[in-house]
Structure 1
Amino acid sequence: MPKVWANLMAVAHTLPYDAALLDGYWDGKPLLVEQWSRVTMPTLVLEGPDSPVSLRHAAGALAQGLPNAILLSKKGLGHTKKLDAPKIAAELSAFFADKAQASGM
């Protein structure tokens, strides 16, 4: 994947670090719940029906493993060739606005 990797690195220079952090989590083994149970901040996990099934399963497992996670599944939110940035931004804005309102900010 030399050409693909070079193209990705041009827009996402942190990919080697991301890959290093994910080492050991690429093989489809379930997340260890005890590793994630202390992550208590509200978390929004996005996924879409056009994403590969493996990524959809991973999003579901992550949402289950995090105590305060919400899994949102909608067309346009997943991992596809062309991300729908306005749709993703709208969902993130709504999530953060809701959390800010709930905390009295």
Structure 2
Amino acid sequence: MKQDKREYLLMTAKHSSKAEPLFYGHRTKEDEERSFAGYAINPEVAELYSISEIISNLSIDTQLFCDLPVHKLGGSIRRYSMISWQNHRNEEDLFAIKPSEVGEVVQK
């Protein structure tokens, strides 16, 4: 598993809904510090993260990330699947989702 490729958005239903999720941060350039502050409605302007950035910024043990979900901070961090997204009940849950999967959740 390549850990340095920026290929994940962090999606949440906190302050929104499952039908209209929010995405963490605002897209930065490759040489800029990653944005973990604020939310974006549009996934195309939301921050893209690598696995190593998610692990280090959210204080997740590297071994645990491979075994998502990881429970912490009152919620959990999960790898996106339609079933886990539709069935989650805790608004604190975060989902690592690839941009190519966003269309399953967000209807344009």
State the TM-score, normalized to the length of structure 1: 0.26
Higher-strand-fraction structure: 2
Higher-helix-fraction structure: 1
**Structure whose alpha-carbon radius of gyration is higher:** 1
> Higher relative contact order at CA 8 Å, sep ≥6: structure 1 or structure 2?
2
State the TM-score, normalized to the length of structure 2: 0.26
